[in-house]
Amino acid sequence: MNKVTLKVLHGSLSTKEFTFQERTTCVIGRALDCNISLPDDQAHSTISRYHCLLDINPPDICIRDFGSLNGTYVNGEKIGQRGTGTDLDKAKRLIYPEYDLKNGDQFKLGDSVFQVSVLNDSEESSSLISRENIPLLTMPVSEPDPLDKINLLLEKASENNGDLFFIKGYNIVKELGKGSMGAVYLAQKTDNSTQKHPLIAMKVMLPKVESDPRSHRQFIRETKNTQLLNHKNIVKVYDIGCHDATFFFTTDYCEAGNVSQLISQQGGKLPLYLALKILMQVLDGLEFAHTVKIPVVVLADGKKTSAVGLVHRDLKPGNIMLTNVDGILQAKIADFGLAKAFDVAGLSGRTATGISAGTPYYMPRQQVINFKFAKPEVDVWAAAATFYKMVTGCYPRKYTKASDPWLITLKTPVTPIREHDASIPQALAKVIDQALVDQPEIFYKSASEFKDDLSKVV
Ligand SMILES: Nc1ncnc2c1ncn2[C@@H]1O[C@H](COP(=O)(O)OP(=O)(O)OP(=O)(O)O)[C@@H](O)[C@H]1O
Ligand SMILES: [Mg+2]
């Protein structure tokens, strides 16, 4: 098993060890809710409350300084220090200073020193090995074109390759768009095969790093249950497959694009009535997904159990698709659990949905602190954040280029919605502001509670 261990060599946590065996993140600082929390006292006053972030995908580990006042040192060299009195422009250039750590590296904040050990199980030796010796497994693979990949699979499917049966007989008509993990195509049935849907969206996802069948299985296992989501406000997933490290999903085609595109088309904001209509539909979809019965869940060890509810974990305007049903706009949530499952399975590297490049604009602080936080309330918060964006054109928190967005999410309160637009009715604004409370906890625990309060004020 690939493993990253941090041993504290000096400081108040001295001799403690932290071991990471799966994809995760870790915030270090003086705040109580940090993953590694240092005492909030005079002796640690040179450490910021949220000082730095570790982005871990064993055996990879990267450290990112949050623009802390006193900086983080790697092997004696300061990374990302922002000097007192630095002007904004200069600070901008120092944004997101990251450093890839390797076996034997030491990093230091205040007087706390951490030693990094990396264990890569692909090496024969079980002793600690140097990161420089393991380039093939951990380096990003050169980016293949998803269109080439899917065309190849469609060709194989036509030769009756078993696990490609459900894409047999389709042809790619056009690209619908690209995302950070792949692309989505419009596909049309061109033969007289038994496929039920003449026109579908075919989503193709490609791992960003060299990956193994175990992580492919983990991803498929996590996403399979989305096929149970039969609801008018959720994009229907017909089939899911993986072949040759290419994941493919066949889904409903939503011809009217997504909410992010609609916001742009409408000049940056949507009229209140339309935003409310979309929000209500999204909450209906969430309520269904969060309470859906999942008869069989296959656990990592192969055991089976049952469960209730699926959480999206990456709800945002770009993942709310639109379609016209008898001339009436219908919102449908897309990509249930996909981005996060991809990341959790270690397939995104640190560059795609990985925390380094991902955007926390629609995430409550709980998701930033706890990589695996997956309660339904994160989707409810994200639905409120999406509404906020639709109505005001802004994110709930004020993000500036000069500061790390992850730090802003951790430290900055949400701006009350009427500060952007005083024409929003007070009673409605109160419910939205309430829905965006995430400290100490998220206010609405379920989509139905949020919906009930909304229905009293609209
Ligand atoms: N079922 C669908 N019907 C029509 N268009 C779709 C469908 N699913 C996705 N698209 C479009 O395909 C494009 C790419 O989507 P994708 O989900 O890959 O990325 P994203 O959600 O925009 O971003 P990311 O995945 O990086 O967060 C988007 O423009 C999206 O609107
Ligand atoms: Mg998407």
pLDDT in tens, 48-105: 999 999 999 999 999 999 888 899 999 999 986 554 445 544 544 445 678 889 999 9
Other Cβ atoms within 10 Å of 172 Cβ, number: 15
Cα(123)–Cα(1) distance, integer angstroms:
11
Cα 407 to middle of ligand 1, angstroms? 27
Peptide linkage before 317 cis (omega within 30 of 0): no
Rounded to the nearest 5 degrees, what angle is found at the Cα of 392, between the Cα atoms of 387 and 397? Answer: 80
Is residue 126 predicted with pLDDT exceeding 60? no
Answer for the pair 347, 214: CB distance below 8 angstroms, yes or no: no
Distance of CA 431 to the CA centre of its chain: 26
With tokens 């034997």, the residue in question is: 104
Which helix H or strand E contains 298, and what residues bound it? strand 293-298
Give the tokens for residue 265. Answer: 């088309």
Pairing of the two strands 199-205 and 246-251: antiparallel
Answer for the pair 379, 291: CB distance below 8 angstroms, yes or no: no
**DSSP helix/strand/coil, 177:** strand
Signed CA dihedral, 271, 201, 175, 212: sign only: positive
Q: Please tell me the residue having the least CA distance from ligand 1 atom 4.
A: 254
Q: Which ligand is nearest to the CA of 361?
A: 1
Closest atom, ligand 1, to C-alpha of 257: 31
The phi, psi pair for 198, rounded to 5°, reads -65, -30
Cα 258 to middle of ligand 2, angstroms? 9
Cα(260)–Cα(179) distance, integer angstroms:
13
Is residue 401 predicted with pLDDT exceeding 90? no
Q: What is residue 297's predicted lDDT score, i.e. its pLDDT?
A: 84
Q: Which ligand is nearest to the CA of 352?
A: 1
Other Cβ atoms within 10 Å of 136 Cβ, number: 8
Cα(229)–Cα(214) distance, integer angstroms:
25
Cα 323 to middle of ligand 2, angstroms? 15
Q: Please tell me the residue having the least CA distance from ligand 1 atom 16.
A: 179
Q: What is residue 135's predicted lDDT score, i.e. its pLDDT?
A: 41
Q: For the chain, how many residues are written?
A: 458
Q: Which ligand is nearest to the CA of 257?
A: 1
Alpha helices of 127-226 — where are they, by DSSP H? 135-138, 146-158, 213-224
Q: Convert the pLDDT of each residue in 296-347 to its tens digit.
A: 888 878 888 999 999 999 999 999 999 999 999 999 999 999 988 998 898 9
Pairing of the two strands 36-37 and 24-29: parallel
Cα(438)–Cα(199) distance, integer angstroms:
41
With tokens 């089939």, the residue in question is: 239
Answer for the pair 384, 397: CB distance below 8 angstroms, yes or no: no
Q: Please tell me the residue having the least CA distance from ligand 1 atom 13.
A: 177
Cα(174)–Cα(8) distance, integer angstroms:
53
Pairing of the two strands 17-20 and 3-10: antiparallel
Q: Please tell me the residue having the least CA distance from ligand 1 atom 17.
A: 179
Residues with CB under 6 A from ligand 1: 176-182, 184, 201, 235, 251-254, 257-258, 318-319, 321, 334-335, 339
**DSSP helix/strand/coil, 212:** coil
Closest atom, ligand 1, to C-alpha of 314: 27
Closest atom, ligand 1, to C-alpha of 182: 18
Pocket test for ligand 1, best of 200, 258, 386 (most atoms within 8 A of CB): 258
Cα 112 to middle of ligand 1, angstroms? 44
- The Cα diameter of the chain in Å comes to 75
Cα 258 to middle of ligand 1, angstroms? 8
Ligand 2 ion: residues within 5 Å (CB): 319, 335
**Which of 438, 449, 417, 454 shows the shortest CA–CA distance to 286?**
449
Cα 177 to middle of ligand 2, angstroms? 9
DSSP-derived secondary structure letter, 421: -
Indicate the range of 75-79, 194-198, 393-397, 425-429 predicted with least confidence: 194-198
Cα 241 to middle of ligand 1, angstroms? 18
The mean pLDDT of the chain is 89
Q: Convert the pLDDT of each residue in 13-37 to its tens digit.
A: 999 999 999 999 999 999 999 999 9
Cα(125)–Cα(281) distance, integer angstroms:
55
Q: Convert the pLDDT of each residue in 433-443 to its tens digit.
A: 999 999 999 99
Closest atom, ligand 1, to C-alpha of 338: 25
* 377-392 and 272-291 helices, crossing angle to 10°: 170
Distance of CA 433 to the CA centre of its chain: 23
Q: What is residue 137's predicted lDDT score, i.e. its pLDDT?
A: 42
pTM of the model: 0.91
Q: Which ligand is nearest to the CA of 197?
A: 1
Q: What is residue 352's predicted lDDT score, i.e. its pLDDT?
A: 40
pLDDT (average), residues 133-149: 65
Q: Which residues of 352-374 are buried (b: 16+ CB within 10 A; e: fewer)?
A: bbbbbebebbbbbbbbbbbbebb
Q: Which residues of 9-36 are buried (b: 16+ CB within 10 A; e: fewer)?
A: eebebeeeebebebbbbbbbbbbebbbb
Q: Which residues contact 144 (CB under 8 A, 6 or more apart)?
A: 206
Q: What is residue 93's predicted lDDT score, i.e. its pLDDT?
A: 44
Which residue type is seen at 233? N
Give the tokens for residue 87. Answer: 């002007």
Residue 159 CB burial class (10 angstroms; 0-12, 13-18, ≥19) = exposed
HSE-CB at 174 with a 13 A cutoff on CA atoms is 4
Is residue 387 predicted with pLDDT exceeding 60? yes
